Chains A and B, each alone.
Chain A
């Protein structure tokens, strides 16, 4: 997190007196939902920071808490969930305690979100042009006319052909890939410093996914914004993120620069995920995959210690005492498994 260039964007206004270089600094965030059988902790004491201009990957399977963490940043935790503890520092300001008014000023303007399913995230009764113009009118006080004009420019910018005509289209008239491009146009409309992309390509075909991820990285290069890329797909993260945090059952279990995460894995869950993945490299393909045995735990029935222990090949008595805080094993490389260096020394 050193030598990160200042964002080039005209709207970027990072305060120079910011205590450190990170744009977003999540500290000890805990998000929980009451259920009939107890409290389900969706995000459990997670700390994570995002520097200006970087791409932070968050990878995990369903129910690992990656989506809830993103939503927490924008104050979008669905009822009856709530943030129980922690701070979300945005340029030094805590968003957890921020007023609704302050939150509105940040949301959509400085931090934008791209959702997994553009078909339901876009409003079906407004044209995409209107929906791109809306944040411009709200946050940048543009006139209707200039906002419409800017919306057309943005549509062209995200690679939608004949943008002027398309700005009059309703979401249902666009293909899945085009809808996701329109959603990206909304997200970048106010030149945010950070985009939270929650599974932005999960419902798209692989050739379209490739186009969308390419577009996001082009836009990032152009505007210098940071991206939090949430995905269940280790491949997507490997190809696009600078740093990766791996989540399991609400905990961040490993965090490292992308190359390091794959070359010297330091958590048994991450190692298990990598080994369970099939590959298109036919010469490296194993005939039988090594699945992780068992199922992820229910979030309202987490026992003490490491939640991965029941599925872990290295698990032992002592794993029940693990407190899941991250320990540093190498420069910028953290793991929640205190025994990783000892048990996994031969791996990776």
Chain B
């Protein structure tokens, strides 16, 4: 496997909530939301790592922590070995162009008063990628890269459809020649026929430019299509991680299975294999003890009340579950569970 461009290690982020006046007067302790809890991941060049999870699982906070739009509480984010969290603000600015983000909503990601050409040129100019003379040619090159014709150069964002805007946003991100691209729900707001265009584009760019792409989405099928490897998040933790093939062929965490069972496949003959999970996602303000999924898990047992270790299933496949991997013989029952601190 190629060397990792982006490495995230034991990343943590908790948000303290403001106390109400009443709570403050009663000296109640401030409540905290655990958004990202001990997350470790790595992405090599030319590789798409998919992160999937439902709302509130911390996937967006994770993306924001990587570029320090949100300051993490602890852990490391290394870009080619350099720890981004140790950098000063000034140093960070120079590094930031190497990591670019694409957000869900292309309507609010573009300045409505800048033409597409000006928006892309601005990014390239700020980071001194091109001089004034070469600017126009460079922007046209970027537009072509994402499949937009040169006529879009002078258009304002409002004259573009959702799919075209998302292409423009991707062109702007690529204009600073990043090594890492983070796409946070980049196709979620698009219609199916357009979504497929953008998915193909992101996959092609990752391969051609050798990007390390962190692709965040809540739709399993989208993740299955674009990713080389997948991390499944639930309430701030990665509950399962492995190659896309492993995760979708033999998921070993009940939550991954629940997501797969709940996914509506466009196949009228499909019959479900797992029962629907019960209840709502617990509040991240008040996390369940032990395994965070045990309150909804159809396989839950007494031992799930203690925090489960990460169980290694070989070839990079890991699951945070002490029931399924053993029950299905993926791990020999005699194997002592690995260190619980992992």
Cβ contacts under 8 Å, A207 to chain B = 54, 258-259, 262, 276-277, 281, 296
A85–B248 Cα distance when bound, in Å, is 49
Query: Which of A175, A205, A258, A272 lies in contact with B193, CB distance below 8 A?
Result: A272
Provide the B241-270 mask, 1 if CB < 8 A to any CB of A, else 0.
Answer: 000110011000000001111111111111
Provide the A189-217 mask, 1 if CB < 8 A to any CB of B, else 0.
Answer: 00000000000000001111111011000
Q: Do the beta carbons of B224 and A282 come within 8 Å of each other? A: yes
Q: Do the beta carbons of B280 and A295 come within 8 Å of each other? A: no
Cβ contacts under 8 Å, B60 to chain A = none
Q: Do the beta carbons of B263 and A258 come within 8 Å of each other? A: no
Q: Do the beta carbons of B259 and A206 come within 8 Å of each other? A: yes
Cβ contacts under 8 Å, B324 to chain A = none
Q: Do the beta carbons of A290 and B55 come within 8 Å of each other? A: no
Query: Which of A210, A234, A239 lies in contact with B192, CB distance below 8 A?
Result: A234
Scan residues 176-209 of chain B and give those whose CB is less than 8 A from a CB of chain A: 191-197, 199-200, 203
Q: Do the beta carbons of B267 and A238 come within 8 Å of each other? A: yes
Cβ of B265 to closest chain A Cβ, rounded Å: 5
Q: Do the beta carbons of A278 and B221 come within 8 Å of each other? A: yes
A259-B269, A285-B224, A295-B161 are known contacts. Are A280 and B193 too (CB-CB below 8 A)?
no
Cβ contacts under 8 Å, A124 to chain B = none
Interface of B is mostly: helix
Query: Which of B54, B225, B266 lies in contact with A274, CB distance below 8 A?
Result: B266
Q: Do the beta carbons of A175 and B197 come within 8 Å of each other? A: no
Q: Do the beta carbons of A205 and B192 come within 8 Å of each other? A: no
A348–B184 Cα distance when bound, in Å, is 34
Cβ of B221 to closest chain A Cβ, rounded Å: 4
Closest to B262 in A: A210
A210-B276, A277-B266 are known contacts. Are A291 and B193 too (CB-CB below 8 A)?
yes
Q: Do the beta carbons of A282 and B266 come within 8 Å of each other? A: no
Q: Is B163 an interface residue (CB 8 A)?
A: yes
Cβ contacts under 8 Å, B220 to chain A = 206, 280
Q: Do the beta carbons of A282 and B244 come within 8 Å of each other? A: yes
Provide the B55-66 mask, 1 if CB < 8 A to any CB of A, else 0.
Answer: 100000000000
Q: Is A143 an interface residue (CB 8 A)?
A: no
A200–B130 Cα distance when bound, in Å, is 49
Cβ of A256 to closest chain B Cβ, rounded Å: 11
A207–B222 Cα distance when bound, in Å, is 16
Closest to B164 in A: A295
Q: Is B68 an interface residue (CB 8 A)?
A: no
A274–B220 Cα distance when bound, in Å, is 16
A178–B280 Cα distance when bound, in Å, is 9
Query: Which of B197, B226, B248 lies in contact with A291, CB distance below 8 A?
Result: B197
A293–B163 Cα distance when bound, in Å, is 11
A206-B218, A207-B259, A290-B196 are known contacts. Are A238 and B265 too (CB-CB below 8 A)?
yes
Q: Is A309 an interface residue (CB 8 A)?
A: no
**Most chain A CB atoms below 10 A, which of B196, B245, B249, B296:** B196
Q: Do the beta carbons of B193 and A210 come within 8 Å of each other? A: no
Cβ contacts under 8 Å, B270 to chain A = 238-239
Q: Do the beta carbons of B221 and A279 come within 8 Å of each other? A: yes
A105–B264 Cα distance when bound, in Å, is 36
A315–B255 Cα distance when bound, in Å, is 45
Q: Is A232 an interface residue (CB 8 A)?
A: yes
Provide the A162-173 mask, 1 if CB < 8 A to any CB of B, else 0.
Answer: 000000000000
Q: Do the beta carbons of A235 and B249 come within 8 Å of each other? A: no
Cβ contacts under 8 Å, A330 to chain B = none
Cβ of B176 to closest chain A Cβ, rounded Å: 27
A133–B218 Cα distance when bound, in Å, is 36
Query: Which of B191, B264, B277 lies in contact with A235, CB distance below 8 A?
Result: B264
Cβ contacts under 8 Å, A279 to chain B = 221, 224-225, 265-266
**Most chain B CB atoms below 10 A, which of A175, A235, A290:** A235
Provide the A22-41 mask, 1 if CB < 8 A to any CB of B, else 0.
Answer: 00000000000000000000
Q: Do the beta carbons of B196 and A289 come within 8 Å of each other? A: yes
A175–B281 Cα distance when bound, in Å, is 9
Closest to A282 in B: B248
Query: Which of A206, A281, A295 lies in contact with B54, CB distance below 8 A?
Result: A206
Provide the A46-62 mask, 1 if CB < 8 A to any CB of B, else 0.
Answer: 00000000000000011
A311–B197 Cα distance when bound, in Å, is 13
A80–B269 Cα distance when bound, in Å, is 43
Cβ contacts under 8 Å, B269 to chain A = 259
Q: Do the beta carbons of A235 and B263 come within 8 Å of each other? A: yes
Closest to B53 in A: A205
Q: Do the beta carbons of A273 and B221 come within 8 Å of each other? A: no
Provide the A303-321 mask, 1 if CB < 8 A to any CB of B, else 0.
Answer: 0000000010000000000
A291–B255 Cα distance when bound, in Å, is 30
Q: Is A219 an interface residue (CB 8 A)?
A: no
Q: Do the beta carbons of B203 and A288 come within 8 Å of each other? A: yes
A207-B262, A259-B268, A289-B199 are known contacts. Are A232 and B224 too (CB-CB below 8 A)?
no
A209–B194 Cα distance when bound, in Å, is 23
Q: Is A339 an interface residue (CB 8 A)?
A: no
Cβ contacts under 8 Å, B248 to chain A = 280-282
4 additional A-B residue pairs with CB within 8 Å, beyond A210-B277, A273-B192: A239-B268, A276-B195, A278-B224, A295-B163
Name the 3 nearest CB pairs between A and B, nearest first: A235-B264, A291-B196, A278-B225
Interface residues of B (CB under 8 A from A): 54-55, 161, 163-164, 191-197, 199-200, 203, 218-222, 224-226, 244-245, 248-249, 258-270, 276-278, 280-281, 296
Interface residues of A (CB under 8 A from B): 61-62, 175, 177-178, 205-211, 213-214, 232-236, 238-240, 258-259, 262, 272-274, 276-283, 285-293, 295-296, 311
User: Can you offer 28 A-B residue contacts whose CB atoms are under 8 A?
Assistant: A61-B193, A62-B191, A205-B281, A207-B258, A207-B262, A207-B296, A210-B262, A210-B264, A211-B277, A211-B278, A232-B191, A233-B264, A234-B192, A238-B270, A258-B268, A262-B267, A276-B193, A278-B221, A279-B221, A279-B224, A279-B265, A280-B221, A280-B260, A280-B263, A282-B224, A283-B249, A288-B203, A289-B196
